[in-house]
Amino acid sequence: MKSYQVVDFGKQLELREYDNPKPVGKEILVKISACGVCHSDLHLADGYFDLGEGNRITLADRGTKLPFTPGHEITGTVVAIGSDAGNVNIGDSGIIFPWIGCGNCEACIEENETLCEAPKYLGARLDGGYSDYIIVPDSRYLVSYGDMDPAVAAPYACSGLTAYSALKKIPKTSQNDWVIIIGAGGVGINGILLSSSVHNAKVLVIDNDSSKREQAIEAGADKAFSPDDIEEIRNVIGIGAKAAIDFVGRPETTDLGLSLVKKGGIVIVVGLYGGSLKLSLPLVPMRSVTLRGSYVGELRELKELVDIIKIGKTKLIPIKKQDMATANQAMSDLREGKVNGRIVLIPN
Ligand SMILES: [Zn+2]
Ligand SMILES: [Zn+2]
């Protein structure tokens, strides 16, 4: 098989060829149809996340061994199964749920695998989808998407799921509420597209790129502003928004969210841009605000999401198909903010 791998942190991916792996036990071997290119692939290739004030969390510390194959928005077809693979057949297709836990801890048993302390995420801890084949540890992680285009389905494993899970962490809204979405990049646009499937609230988007604001309105946002239009934003939301989702994750964006939610509001940080936030502590109790994180999503949420998409309840994520050989170019385009929607790599 041909895999585009991180061989050295901070360097370009390299093409490496290997014999196809053989699935054992519960494993299945999947021939990859498509793999989306996600922002976190950039962090994985760089080898660290910026924690702010000069602090970093490195992948080496987190146990990632080189070389490894990134890519976690994967669709494909089962081509071989282990002896104990259970209810799966060769030829079955699906989205692969990549946020796999250890399977043994309390979080995993309660099916909150993203809270597992010893995860086995595909494309981060185990080899991922920038390849033509992948070993998946268990067939239960294959989620059927019906007759959708596999390239269209792929980004739901991360970009779509991340947005959906964040939206689900907002308490029930009414049609008078505002939900603020900060950052209309790939995941933010999904948040806008999926919002009406989860909430009744109106959606106000904040992004400093005018073309992204236009896309936000096309995707169904009620309003879209630059962060500089703070007075206009306040005029629209009145006493404040019910919730803000920060799909960027910079100190300024989270701070902006905190300043725009009303008493009892919630700010959900999703983006991993990096940095550290100075927080005025008395305002946290006095305003009863919640600041919480949301990391990707759970298998049950991916199944719910795929059901929403299959019945056509939401507009689909815009994608751009590219040959997998362009993986490095795709990553640098994403790094430079040149990508609208999602690049999906197709094995050649
Ligand atoms: Zn991702
Ligand atoms: Zn676990």
Same domain for 13 and 138, yes or no, is yes
**pLDDT-derived band at 240, boundaries 50, 70, 90:** very high
Last residue within a domain, chosen from 275, 293, 311: 293
Distance 208 CA to ligand 1 centre (A): 22
**Six-digit token pair at 267?**
């700010």
Which range among 222-236, 314-328, 331-345 has the greatest average pLDDT? Answer: 222-236
Number of domains in the chain: 2
Q: Give yes or no for a contact between 331 and 13, defined as CB atoms under 8 angstroms apart.
A: yes
**pLDDT-derived band at 230, boundaries 50, 70, 90:** very high
Ligand nearest to C-alpha 162:
1
Same domain for 318 and 251, yes or no, is no
Same domain for 142 and 153, yes or no, is yes
Same domain for 319 and 283, yes or no, is no
Q: Is the pLDDT of residue 339 over 90?
A: no
Q: Is the pLDDT of residue 340 over 80?
A: no
Segment 303-311 shows an average pLDDT of 92
**pLDDT-derived band at 79, boundaries 50, 70, 90:** very high
- For residue 80, the tally of other CB atoms under 10 A from its CB is 17
pTM higher than 0.75:
yes
Distance 126 CA to ligand 2 centre (A): 15
Ligand nearest to C-alpha 73:
1
**Six-digit token pair at 256?**
């902006």
Same domain for 230 and 335, yes or no, is no
Asked if the bond preceding 67 is cis, omega within 30° of 0, the reply is yes
Same domain for 342 and 280, yes or no, is no
Distance 197 CA to ligand 2 centre (A): 30
Distance 161 CA to ligand 1 centre (A): 9
- Please give the Cα distance from 78 to 90 (Å, whole number): 5
Ligand nearest to C-alpha 105:
2
Distance 176 CA to ligand 1 centre (A): 32
**pLDDT-derived band at 56, boundaries 50, 70, 90:** confident
Distance 110 CA to ligand 2 centre (A): 9
Ligand nearest to C-alpha 106:
2
Distance 339 CA to ligand 2 centre (A): 34
- For residue 17, the tally of other CB atoms under 10 A from its CB is 7
DSSP 108: H
- Count Cα atoms within 13 angstroms, Cβ side, for 104: 3
Distance 104 CA to ligand 2 centre (A): 5
Residue found by looking up tokens 């999703």 in the block: 270
Same domain for 50 and 127, yes or no, is yes
pLDDT per position as a tens digit, 7-55: 999 999 999 999 999 999 999 999 999 999 998 899 889 988 777 778 8
Q: Is the pLDDT of residue 274 over 90?
A: no
Domain span holding position 123: 2-158+297-346
DSSP 68: B
CA 71 to chain centre: 11
Q: What is the CA radius of gyration of the chain?
A: 20
Ligand nearest to C-alpha 98:
1
Same domain for 10 and 124, yes or no, is yes
- DSSP track, 152-204: HHGGGGTHHHHHHHHHHTSPP--TT-EEEEE--SHHHHHHHHHHHHH--SEEE
Distance 166 CA to ligand 1 centre (A): 14
pLDDT per position as a tens digit, 130-170: 999 999 999 999 999 998 999 999 999 999 999 999 999 99
- CATH number for position 260: 3.40.50.720
Same domain for 135 and 41, yes or no, is yes
Strand blocks (E) in 67-132: 73-81, 93-96
End-to-end C-alpha distance for the chain, whole angstroms: 11
Same domain for 313 and 174, yes or no, is no
Same domain for 128 and 172, yes or no, is no
- Please give the Cα distance from 165 to 182 (Å, whole number): 16
Which residues fall within 8 angstroms of residue 319, CB to CB, at 6 or more apart? 36, 151, 152, 154, 155, 341, 342, 343, 344
- Computed over every residue of the chain, the mean pLDDT equals 94
Distance 175 CA to ligand 1 centre (A): 30
Of 267, 213, 217, 271, residue with least CA distance to 242: 267
Distance 298 CA to ligand 2 centre (A): 13
